[in-house]
Amino acid sequence: MNVNSAAANPILYYKLDPGEWGSSAPATAGTSVAHVSSHESSNILRFESEATKKGCYVVAKDLYLNLRQDGMYLAATSGMSSVTTYCPKKDKEQAAKGSVGSEIDKKIHQYDKKQLELDTLLKTLKGSANKTLVKQKLRSIEDRKMELQQKKLRLYTEITLLLAQNLNVNPDMLNVDLMV
């Protein structure tokens, strides 16, 4: 019995997913499992590295190979890899910023309402002395709103810096002075 070596160990051609890194070099059926598993393992290492750089933890890793009989070999026709991560810093940062930000946003909303009332009042006033008074109040409210927005940005920066140093941030402990 004479077996053709090309039929017994055919060459398999691979295609990378869009945006995926790696080599799409062909492999024989006999070396396909090593070829595909090596590629998927390097994807997992890349995912882990990216997660570590972001301060996240790898919780689970999965690597799947699609296998089929090709020639005399069980060949890997494709593969898939995934990594599940947990990013505690982002969760803490969002919680801290959300708590502080919502308090400031409420106060800014109150100023918006007051500003609208004063705008309406300004349009109905006839005397120039009264209009001047209302305009001054409007400018004062606009200044307060701007000051609160700047305070919010400073607090967000402070929270981010504390978390970058791996310090605990409790939103209740942040002193937010809304009296502007």
- Please check the confidence at residue 59 and state whether its pLDDT lies above 70: yes
Burial of 122 (0-12, 13-18, 19+ CB in 10 A): middle
pLDDT of residue 62: 93
Tell me: the pLDDT tens digits for 80-132? 999 988 877 666 666 666 666 677 777 777 778 887 877 777 777 777 777 78
Answer whether 155's CB lies under 8 Å from 174's CB.
Answer: yes
Residues facing 11 on adjacent strands: 28
User: Confidence band (pLDDT; 50, 70, 90) for 45?
Assistant: very high
Tell me: the pLDDT tens digits for 146-173? 888 787 777 777 777 766 666 666 655 5
- Please check the confidence at residue 63 and state whether its pLDDT lies above 90: yes
Its pTM stands at: 0.50
pLDDT of residue 61: 92
pLDDT of residue 36: 92
- Please check the confidence at residue 34 and state whether its pLDDT lies above 90: yes
Tell me: the pLDDT tens digits for 10-19? 888 888 888 7
Q: How far is the CA of 138 from the CAs of 13, 55, 109, 143, in angstroms?
A: 70, 45, 14, 9
pLDDT of residue 100: 66
**In angstroms, rounded to a whole number, what is the distance separating the alpha carbons of residues 12 and 28?**
6
Helix axes 88-124, 128-164, angle to 10 degrees: 180
User: Confidence band (pLDDT; 50, 70, 90) for 179?
Assistant: low
According to DSSP H, which parts of the chain are helical?
A: 5-8, 32-53, 88-124, 128-164
Q: How many CB atoms lie within 10 A of CB 104?
A: 19
The token pair that represents 130 in the structure block: 């009264």
